Amino acid sequence: MRKQFVLIVYDISSDKRRTKLHNLLLDYGTPVQYSAFECILDAKNLSKLKKAAGRIVRKRVDNVRYYFLCADCVNRIESSRPEEINKSQPPQTMVV
């Protein structure tokens, strides 16, 4: 199954829901800031993650965004701390 690099960012108003989502995302990726995670996911895990996240967030007040990056884009990520960039598995483009 092909994997895709996904940057997930969120803005959650409730501390309780924000902590729940943060803990869920720890099972799928690496936090790069408190409300941003880099994940390398196949279609099955992405679906499971979105379903679980959907049970946590309140759509009218919370916001979760999924940014899909191609392999070329991942290779161009820049950071002031480059050792923290998650490139452990080279992503491939996947149509979801």
- Domains, in order of start, for the chain: 3-84 (3.30.70.240)
H/E stretch holding 23 reads: helix 15-26
Angstrom CA distances, 91 to 6, 28, 57, 70, stand at: 9, 15, 27, 7
pTM for this prediction: 0.81
Which of 67, 3, 73 has the alpha carbon at shortest distance from 37? 67
> What is the rounded distance in angstroms from the CA atom of residue 12 to the CA atom of residue 69?
23
pLDDT band at 43 (very low <50, low <70, confident <90, very high): very high
8 vs 90, higher pLDDT: 8
